[in-house]
Structure 1
Amino acid sequence: MERLIETARKEGALNVIALPRDWVNYGEIIDTFSEDYGIKVNQLEPGASSQQEIQAAARLKPDVFDLSLEVAVANAKLFAPYKVQTWQDIPDRVKDYAGRWYAGYGGYMSIGYDPSKVAAPASYADLLKPGYSVSLPGDPRQNAAAFNGVMAASLRGNKVEAERGVELFERLRKAGNLSATERTASVVVDWDYDNAGRAAAETSDRPRWAVAIPGNTVLSSYNVQAIYENAPHPAAARLWQEFLFSDKGQNLFLKGFARPARMEALQMRGTLDKALAAKLPATTAKPVIMTIPEIDAAKVYLQRKWAGKVG
């Protein structure tokens, strides 16, 4: 680590891409890394999607990526293998055996709602009741969080079926319960870290916000980290990964209401920030992660059916 830190400091910079400062506490994460190691962090295209990161890589030359699982798997050839010191703590199901990509943090799909307007929903079917105005954080054919919101609504036991999710949103539209924007909605179906962030950002002139994770199973997903094979600052890129997967870095994700990939290991070793963990939306539901074939099939179905059924 001492040699890595020394080399990274000589490089003097790190290029990150698609990391909004208000996303899972990335603003503080970037600032802390920069202050700890004296390395300037250049933030490229903070609003880019995972696929846009890959498309822009040759032009913008990022050092590291933060990607959805399916985009990382499809583009693994672009990443430099590297295993952080805490590699063994990352669950096997969310890391590449060769070290080309590995989960950094994740979340559960949730229902954020304004309790002054609607009751806490006990299921996604409850959103069909009178008085609910439901929104997604974007078009599910283009936005990953919105796509997973539709998939979460389709979850029965351990199985996700896109047809079921689209059918529910079609029924919401027909019932007049589907809102075009979050601004006018009393409910937003989104990742729990986003909905918890909305609740934490409340001010006196904003409505209250609460978060529900209904059911015995919950749709879960991880964002994964990777190093660009043509990284202009290869040592800084590796140091960034070591920082993100350190106890400090993982707890900084937790501060942004994300669930650290090493959370179980942190709990076992007594290094998890318990006060921050207590602020996560409560649930005893069993997490379900979609497979890559399931994701691909669901995306094809939404491209074919969403416009005609939901609009």
Structure 2
Amino acid sequence: MSSLRKIMTVSIAALLSVSSLAACGTASASGTTSSSTSSNAEASTATSLSDFGSMSALEKAAEAEGSLNVIALPHDWSNYGEVIAAFKKKYPKIKVNEANPNASSKEEIDAIKTNAGTDAAPDTVDVGLAVAATSTKYFAPYKVKAWSSIDSSLKEKSGLYTAGYTGIMSVGWNKTKYGSITKLSDLLKSKFAGTVALNGKPAEAGAAFNGFLMANALSGGTLTNLKPGLAFFKKLETAGNLTQVDVTDATIDSGQTGVVFDWTYNQESYQKSLKAKGIDWEYKTFPKAQVVSYYNQAINKQAPHPAAARLWEEFLYSAQAQNLWLKGGSTPVLLTQMKKDGTVNKTILADQPQLTGKAISYTNDDSTRITTWLQNNWDKTIGN
């Protein structure tokens, strides 16, 4: 399970209807030698499938590159394990190099900057809105084939980043050990000493950012009044219950993080893995604080494998990958269109968590403002 993840955006209407190196001759991540070619240069400036002429041409260009570098894609996060496996099966000539599965959005952008000009740079990133919107200088515009079916509020108009999937923020816990949790204030009880995890710092990690917003709403706050949420976490820290340990499989299994603020699709993953060990992992959303948000896909403008990067994006917005995201407990951005054209897996759809109250949404400006506020207030309040 992922520890630090991203800060995102949402369209309520949509939800309810719902190292770089082609330019240098260095060794690639797959152990082959890459060199600058005209086809590679063309791929790096392609803004849509039409620039390649056809899907077949894009596939051939990507296979010629032979590699794809991805980052921050835990296999049990929104079912990315199956998504990656499906891509490998469909394109066996392309080696998928996976870096730092537990990276935060900020760390993804850091990887682009640190590895610029080398073949180790990420070709694509999966990031939250706050990071996506403030990092566009690192992205290449690209509109996938399904572009017209994506709500305009869920994509940057030139294709610099596009929403992919969302979940609902929730609280999950080891019910076998702790019994029931009915309200947020229950987490202040002494039995939860040192075990409540927000899953990162809210100004850096998406799950933590949205977990904070959920707690803030349940504490009487709003998107313009964040003090109640900060006050709650200060109480949680004072009680000795808050831990800032990054949540992983190991921390969940060991009981180090017995209560976790996280997305419903991750809670489902925890639940399934722990059931086999005799642990009842429960989770709940709160009707008065239904925080929902999308993760965004973007292509590194200096991607070492520009054609493979674009092929990966086309794959993610195919019915096959969107259904795999759905299987992982998330809501894919093309769900409404898939329902219309009959490509959604109805069996999987029937088993997914549903929105049970009014969703809390925020704009890019909200996200940036809230992030800045948290940067200025979280560290000096929590841990001091």
Normalised to the residue count of structure 2, the TM-score between the two structures is 0.73
Secondary structure (helix, strand or coil) at the match of 1:202 reads helix
CA distance in 2, matches of 1:111, 1:251: 25
Report the counterpart of residue 247 of structure 1 in structure 2.
Answer: 319
2:170 to 81, 89, 110: 110
Q: Which residue of 2 aligns with 1:277?
A: 349
Partner of 1:233: 305
Distance 2:351 2:181 in 1: 18
Q: Once the two structures are superposed, what CA deviation does each residue of 1:179-236 show, in whole Å capped at 9, x if it has no partner? A: 5656245431111111111111124434211221112441112111111112222221
- Identical aligned pairs, as a percentage? 40
Residue by residue, what CA displacement relative to the aligned partner does 1:63-113 show, whole Å, maximum 9, x if unpaired?
Answer: 211111111111112222111111122222120111111011111111112
For 1:18-37, what per-residue CA distance to the aligned partner results, in whole angstroms no more than 9, with x for missing partners?
22233222222112111102
Distance of 1:200 and 1:238 partners within structure 2: 33
Aligned mates of 2:343, 2:288 — CA distance in 1: 28
Structure 2: tracts of 5 or more residues without a match: 1-54, 246-250
CA contact (8 A) 2:234 2:382 kept: yes
Indicate which of 140, 155, 162 corresponds to 2:217.
155
Over the aligned positions, Cα root-mean-square deviation in angstroms equals: 2.5
Match of 1:15 in 2: 69
* Matching of residues 37-56 of structure 1 within 5 Å: 37-38=91-92, 39-56=94-111
Shift of 1:8: 1.8
Deviates more, 1:155-164 or 1:53-62: 155-164
Q: Call closer, same or farther: CA 1:249–1:150 in 2, change over 3 Å.
A: same
Q: Which amino acid aligns with 2:154?
A: V
Is 1:72 aligned to 2:132, yes or no?
A: yes
TM-score between both structures, scaled by the size of structure 1 = 0.89
The question of 1:267 aligning with 2:339 is answered: yes
Distance 1:237 1:128 in 2: 46
Structure 2 distance, partners of 1:191, 1:36, is 29
The match for 2:199 among 137, 161, 175 is 137
Preserved contact between residue 213 and residue 282 of structure 1 (Cα < 8 Å): no
Structure 1 residue runs without a partner (length 5+): none
* CA-CA distance at 1:138 after TM superposition: 2.6
What residue is the counterpart of 1:257 in the other structure? Answer: 329
The 3 A distance-change label for structure 1 pair 114 and 64 is same
CA distance in 2, matches of 1:88, 1:158: 36
Q: Identify the residue that residue 267 of structure 2 maps to in structure 1.
A: 195
**What is aligned with 2:85?**
31
Runs of 4+ with >6 A deviation: none
Task: Give the Cα separation in 2 of the matches to 1:75 and 1:272.
Answer: 32
CA contact (8 A) 1:34 1:41 kept: yes
SS at match of 2:325: helix
The match for 1:169 is 233
Distance 1:270 1:194, change over 3 A: same
Partner Cα separation in structure 2 for residue 229 and residue 176 of structure 1: 45
Structure number with bigger Rg: 2
**What displacement does 1:130 show?**
6.7
Distance 1:7 1:307 in 2: 47
Aligned letter for 1:4? L
* SS class of match (2:140): coil
Amino acid at match of 2:261: V
> Is contact 2:164-2:332 (8 Å) kept?
yes
Aligned to 1:94: 154
Tell me, what secondary structure is at the counterpart of 2:274?
A: coil
- Greater CA deviation, 155-164 or 94-103? 155-164
- Given the alignment of the two structures, is residue 214 of structure 1 paired with residue 214 of structure 2, yes or no? no
Tell me: CA distance 1:125–1:246, structure 2 relative to 1, closer, same or farther (3 Å).
same
Is contact 1:216-1:284 (8 Å) kept? no
How far, CA to CA, are the matches of 1:179 and 1:96 in structure 2? 36
- Aligned positions, number: 310
| SS of match in other structure, 2:356 | coil
Measured against aligned partners, the alpha-carbon deviations of 1:151-201 in whole angstroms (never above 9, x if no partner) come to 111126993232121111223334455456562454311111111111111
**Aligned counterparts of 2:147 and 2:86: Cα–Cα separation in 1:** 22
Q: Does structure 1 retain, via aligned residues, the 8 Å contact 2:203–2:372?
A: no
The aligned residue for residue 31 of structure 2 is none
In structure 1, the partner of 2:47 is none
